[in-house]
Structure 1
Amino acid sequence: MFRLGYVAAGFLALIAVIMGAADSPSVAAYYSSFESRIGYWLLLGNTRHCGLYEKGALSPFPITKAQRKMEEKLYTRLGLGSGKLLDASAGSGYVAMYMAFKGFDVQAIDITPHHLQDARKNVKANGLESKVAVDYGDYHNLTSFAPEPFDGIYTMETFVHADNPEKVLSNFYRLLKPGGVLGLHEADFSRNSEKLQDVLRLSHCQNTLEEGGYERLLSKGGFNEYSIEDLTDEVLPMWRLFGIVGYVPYQIFKVFGIENRFINVMAGVEVWLNWGNGRYISVRAIKP
């Protein structure tokens, strides 16, 4: 695994020198970059979210099992027995499929073309076309949906990409039925820095909320019942893996001044080195 990571890093370095990188990429550009696509494929099996582990666990393997546990956690936090869900930025569709296997009907949306292709392919391969609909959709503009069609709405590490978090939350509120549940598995931070802002900007997460921001946003958005669960310790094994695998390539990239062209390597190492400056949280809110 480590040797594979270093070989991949060397190849990516050559690509970066040739191709360059955007200073402020869009969400689609970030996920469509060669580094993102090869990295998610090599390390995460093309699933675009963290795994959930027992506190104190050292090994991140098997990663796919931990990712299913994270999906189970989101399902449990939603606390819904059945109904219709909106997966607001579905990636390759793994979370939507998990929810479908639990009995839900899922409307999955995304704005990245290859995500939509992957999700449709995965849904079809698992025989879930009648349970999961995959369509282009931007959670900043959900006017194509009538008010209150969903029993639940969730994001899995994608609300951090919102250009306008308040508008997105307002859209979610409009689409939830009374008593409907919003589930967000996301990140916030307690200590800001220039390096953190570089990481957030290059991964199009520049509006990531500071600690306490979700409480204020939910209250302002009309949600009067909400809870936040800190899962930071339970995602550490995966981020430790990112930090260890990426450390040497990251130092090499820094020598040549090209570290900003490898945002996932940068993020993996910097988050690991500065563990404790941010949190991975599970947010649950109910529409009155």
Structure 2
Amino acid sequence: MSQAHDVSSANVDPSEVNKFNKLASEWWDDKGAFATLHQINPLRLNWIEENIKRGYQSADKQKTAAQGLVGKRVLDVGCGGGILAESMARRGADVTGIDLGEENLKAASLHAEQSELTDTLRYQHIAIEALAKTHKEAFDVVTCMEMLEHVPDPSAIVQACYELLAPGGVCVMSTINRNPKSYLFAIIGAEYVLRLLDRGTHDYVKFITPAELDKMSIDAGFARQDLIGLHYNPLTKRYWLAQNVDVNYMLAVYKPLSANS
């Protein structure tokens, strides 16, 4: 079940929360409003686990890294209806999903119960900055996917991710680049032409360049690990990962074991 907390002073745009709350009943319809997330989830899940295996640091690095998500304490920030959170729990992680959309969390919690995953998967209605005050360095992995472009102050989210992550842990974030090509593909193409997303899902001025996200991460204390682009061919309806980060991209960073790492 989701746990309620005070989010009145959260770093949030209420219109963004309402936008996704209204679509809560469609989270687990793989042909509905979130069909794209279902389709890209295997790609992002595998990339997250690859970066854990490659970058996770500990006193017994070889063993714990090789386990990937197995046994890791994972926080999924802006979890929505739980598509990614559930998939990480299925791979053996102990997952906490947080979101400010109560209807989203109801849908996520119900599906977790139906999937018999509640022993290793839970949801909380709490702002990440509030969680960071009480759960410092409590997680081995933090994910923040398709969320940074929907908040007023993404740098504050990145900083809170750093504070919540244990030393040696990996953080993976995804968002949308800001340039004419991303406007054409992510808004005109995805929302108006192909109708992969509802119109108004994204606001171009909130898009974040890789350089901007990299700076937010370094300023927070993270070290760089990897950067990859997510691509889609509307003719073949195929998604894949490649080095070009002109539109959608994911960034993996890690929290050094010490300030000198």
CA RMSD of aligned residues (A): 3.4
2:138 is matched by which residue type in structure 1?
P
Distance 2:250 2:183 in 1: 26
Q: Is 2:88 aligned against 1:93?
A: no
Aligned to 1:135: 124
Secondary structure of the 1:50 match is helix
Give 1:46 shift.
Answer: 6.2
For residue 188 of structure 1, the aligned residue among 146, 167, 177 is: 177
Give 1:37 shift.
Answer: 5.5
Aligned to 1:50: 37
Distance 1:194 1:69 in 2: 23
Aligned to 2:49: 75
| 1:196-217 Cα shifts (integer Å, max 9, x gaps) | 8998x94365432134212222
Distance 1:228 1:181 in 2: 13
Cα contact 1:49–1:157 (8 A) shared by 2: no
Range that drifts further, 136-145 or 125-134: 136-145
Instruction: Pick 1 or 2: higher relative contact order, CA cutoff 8 A, min separation 6.
Output: 1
Aligned to 1:171: 160
The count of corresponding residues between Structure 1 and Structure 2 is: 213
Cα contact 2:226–2:253 (8 A) shared by 1: yes
For residue 281 of structure 1, the aligned residue among 249, 252, 259 is: 249
1:50 is matched by which residue type in structure 2?
L
Aligned to 1:158: 147
Aligned to 2:201: 203
Range that drifts further, 166-175 or 184-193: 184-193
Cα contact 2:27–2:107 (8 A) shared by 1: no
| Runs of 5+ consecutive residues of structure 1 not aligned to the other structure | 1-23, 52-62, 242-275
Distance 1:193 1:129 in 2: 38
Give 1:161 shift.
Answer: 1.4
| 1:229-254 Cα shifts (integer Å, max 9, x gaps) | 122x3x3449979xxxxxxxxxxxxx
In structure 2, relative to structure 1, the CA distance for the partners of 1:130 and 1:46 (3 Å cut) is farther
Distance 2:26 2:251 in 1: 27
When normalised by structure 1's length, the TM-score is 0.63
Distance 2:174 2:130 in 1: 21
When normalised by structure 2's length, the TM-score is 0.68
Distance 2:236 2:37 in 1: 8
Distance 1:46 1:202 in 2: 13
Secondary structure of the 1:184 match is strand
| Runs of 5+ consecutive residues of structure 2 not aligned to the other structure | 1-12, 54-64, 192-198, 239-243, 257-261
Distance 2:235 2:80 in 1: 19
Cα contact 2:229–2:246 (8 A) shared by 1: no
